[in-house]
Amino acid sequence: MDSHEGSKSDLVTIAVEYALLQMGTPELEKVKSRLKDDYNATVGDCVDHPEYLKKILCDLFGYCYQDILDDIKQVFQDIGVKDQMEEFYIVLRTK
């Protein structure tokens, strides 16, 4: 993994954890646990496999999924990385 991928991994972790912590610590822990159990992955690993995160978020949160996506997008905008994270975000928001 090069440093560019490492930084994207950190950005994904920050954005996803922030969005889920808006709902509560148990929700974040559920997602982390499912990622580990289902894919042997972490939140940061989802930079390469956003489909893992999408499936788990949809399964666990249903209609709240869009709110979580909005929070993730907002974090990317707030820290000025929306453009470089667009590909990740597109996978999450597609049906």
Mind listing the pLDDT tens digit for each residue in 68-89?
999 999 999 999 998 989 999 9
Nearest 5°: phi and psi at 79?
-100, 5
AA identity, residue 26: P
Contacts with 35 (C-beta within 8 Å, 6 or more apart), sequence order: 41, 42, 43, 45, 46, 52, 53, 56
Using alpha carbons, select from 13, 44, 43 the residue that is nearest to residue 30. 43
The residue segments making up the domain with residue 28 are 3-93
Instruction: Return mean pLDDT, the chain.
Output: 91
Q: What tokens appear for 57 in the block?
A: 């978020």
Beta strands in the chain (DSSP E): none
Q: What pLDDT sits at residue 71?
A: 96
Q: Name the domain count of the chain.
A: 1
pLDDT at residue number 2: 39
Question: Model's pTM, two decimal places?
Answer: 0.88
**Predicted confidence band of residue 94 (pLDDT cuts 50, 70, 90):** confident
Residue 3 has pLDDT above 60, yes or no: no
Helix (H, G, I), strand (E, B) or coil at 1: coil
In this model, does residue 4 exceed pLDDT 60?
no
Instruction: Kindly report, residue by residue over 34-45, the tens digit of the pLDDT.
Output: 999 999 999 999
Residue 34: give its domain's CATH number.
1.10.1200
Q: What is the C-alpha R_g of the chain?
A: 12
